[in-house]
Chains A and B, each alone.
Chain A
Amino acid sequence: MAPATSSTSSAITLNINGEKHHLPIDHRTTLLDALRERLDLTGTKKGCDQGQCGACTVLVDRRRVVSCLSLAVAAEGREITTIEGVAEGDELHPVQQAFLDLDGYQCGYCTPGQICSAIAVIEEHAAGWPSAVTDDPGPEAGPPPLTPDEIRERMSGNLCRCGAYVSIVRAVARAAESHAEHRAEAAKGTAA
């Protein structure tokens, strides 16, 4: 870690969306505020600032976390991905595209968090992680079917007060399907 500039602030480097950002930081600054107030990455939203809504969800080392309860100084050395970093240039991430096509939002304020969370949900599921609604037959069984109930439980850390849950669940299901097809194609390619 970079040398401290004082006992209560540090000069740090944050690796965000593949880019390194050097900045002096007050230790009190959360990762969320660093993104929004210091780095002009305002796609990550502040809904509660208490870990109770999920609007600030970002990926840290490819895992979803709430950035409001993460200190920026503690995020040094990790790979941070925000909503601004999930598309491939002009091509939307399949989750983004599904939200757009299926109207998986209304006001849009919880949306970046929902999308980052959904991207991680698809990966967690593919990795075989069970959820609270999984009737877990054991680790050998592999990933459970990604039913709407599985999606709902796994996405429950992201509140949507507009009540767009029904279309969000459909969007996540569609993106997961295309993700699975993608993997199957890739696997076939490798096998060939």
Chain B
Amino acid sequence: MREFGYQRAHDVTGALALLAADPDARFLGGGTNLVDLMKSGVERPARLVDVRDLPLDRVEPTADGGLRIGATVTNSDLAAHPEVRRRYPALAQAVLAGASGQLRNMATVGGNLLQRTRCGYFTDVSKPCNKRVPGSGCPAVTGEHHNHAVLGASGHCVAVHPSDMGVALTAFDAVVSYASADGPGETPLTDFYLPVGDTPHRETALPPGALITHVSLPAAPVAARSRYRKVRERASYAFAIGSVAAALTVEDGLVREARLALGAVASRPWRARAAEAVLAGAPADGATFAAAADAELAAARPLPDNGYKVTLMRNLVVSVLTELAGRDAR
């Protein structure tokens, strides 16, 4: 690990100023991903600006029934928050499905969205990786990829985004607010992550030097009946091999509104708009749910060793929607 300077910021303006002075500087939130990447040599910042003391640590209900979540709110506080559990239960479930109690106490909402892939080629500096060293190649395409992307990937990178929280936020139309030297800005989470294309090293639409300040969730009554399910290779403390965040309301046997997002299948949390289109107004039954899943997964381009994800995601979507429909019925 390279030697680095350290400063603690106390307000957003100060944080931006501290970072702007140095292109090799990084914001330090909970550190659960950044410090690990510094140890493995993937990240070598010259300076860290610690943003955990910024006054962005509150979850505020908005008048319209949504939530405004500060960027330094810890995962634990987010998942335990009464309004999160009431209004967006799938978000609380997604956060609780991630990492461990210790890591959730450290990790922040802003940091969660900016975490890097856990692809084993990306985290190993002795191996090629287009995301880490543009142009060096992607060994995962022909190598180990059984937990890599089946949607939206390119030959340049097949890594998946590891966030659970992001999947639920994506389903609920979250908007990312940031501060930058050029003033504040905001981006819907669905546009926050850039397409992989041939630039997998460019991951987000966040302007250089910008700081995420809030994540806002618009009111979504449908989210009160929502569910997050995660499948992984052990029962806890592991990244997803597939996950689903879903919300559903049913009226007279027909889907009135549905939200669906998929995790661990792409370089970003995957909003399943094609599936949602099939669901809207259709009978709330297994056939519809399967058709919805198939519509979304028609675009899947699995690699030799991750085709199971297509089956897994289809089954998981059907299972979660069936559960929600059943719950709605009673």
Could you tell me which A residues sit within 8 Å of B by CB distance?
A: 1, 4, 7-8, 10, 26-28, 30, 49-51, 54, 57, 63-66, 69-71, 73-74, 117, 120-121, 124, 127-132, 134, 136, 138-139, 152-159
CB distance from B95 to the nearest CB of A (A): 9
Does B237 contact A130, Cβ atoms closer than 8 Å? no
Cβ of B93 within 8 Å of any chain A Cβ, yes or no, is yes
Q: Which of B74-127 contact A (CB under 8 A)?
A: 76, 79-80, 82, 85-86, 89, 92-93, 96-97, 99-103, 105-106
Q: What are 23 A-B pairs at a CB distance below 8 A? A: A1-B8, A4-B5, A27-B5, A28-B4, A49-B39, A51-B32, A51-B36, A63-B105, A64-B102, A64-B105, A66-B106, A69-B35, A69-B36, A71-B6, A71-B48, A74-B8, A129-B79, A129-B80, A132-B93, A156-B235, A156-B237, A157-B100, A159-B237
Instruction: State A27–B28 Cα separation when bound (angstroms).
Output: 13
Instruction: State A153–B230 Cα separation when bound (angstroms).
Output: 14
Q: Do A136 and B92 contact each other (CB < 8 Å), given the known contacts A50-B39, A156-B237? A: yes
Does B236 contact A132, Cβ atoms closer than 8 Å? yes
Contacts of B40 in A (CB 8 A): 50
Does B237 contact A27, Cβ atoms closer than 8 Å? no
Q: Name the interface size band of chain B.
A: 35 or more
B28: which of A8, A71, A131 is its contact (CB, 8 Å)?
A71
Cβ of B50 within 8 Å of any chain A Cβ, yes or no, is yes
A159: nearest residue on chain B (CB-CB)? B237
Could you tell me which B residues sit within 8 Å of A by CB distance?
A: 1, 3-6, 8, 28, 30-32, 35-36, 39-40, 48, 50, 52, 76, 79-80, 82, 85-86, 89, 92-93, 96-97, 99-103, 105-106, 235-237
Contacts of B8 in A (CB 8 A): 1, 74
Does A69 contact B106, Cβ atoms closer than 8 Å? yes
Contacts of A70 in B (CB 8 A): 31, 35, 106
Instruction: State A120–B102 Cα separation when bound (angstroms).
Output: 9
CB distance from A25 to the nearest CB of B (A): 10
A-B residue pair count with CB separations less than 8 angstroms:
110
Contacts of B36 in A (CB 8 A): 50-51, 69
Contacts of A156 in B (CB 8 A): 100, 235-237
Does A132 contact B101, Cβ atoms closer than 8 Å? no
Does A64 contact B31, Cβ atoms closer than 8 Å? no
Does A69 contact B236, Cβ atoms closer than 8 Å? no
Does B106 contact A27, Cβ atoms closer than 8 Å? no
Instruction: State A51–B5 Cα separation when bound (angstroms).
Output: 23
Contacts of A73 in B (CB 8 A): 6
Chain B CB count within 10 A is highest, among A4, A8, A128, A159, for A8
Does A138 contact B85, Cβ atoms closer than 8 Å? yes
Does B236 contact A153, Cβ atoms closer than 8 Å? yes
Q: Do A10 and B237 contact each other (CB < 8 Å), given the known contacts A66-B103, A69-B31, A129-B76? A: no
CB distance from B241 to the nearest CB of A (A): 16
Does A65 contact B102, Cβ atoms closer than 8 Å? yes
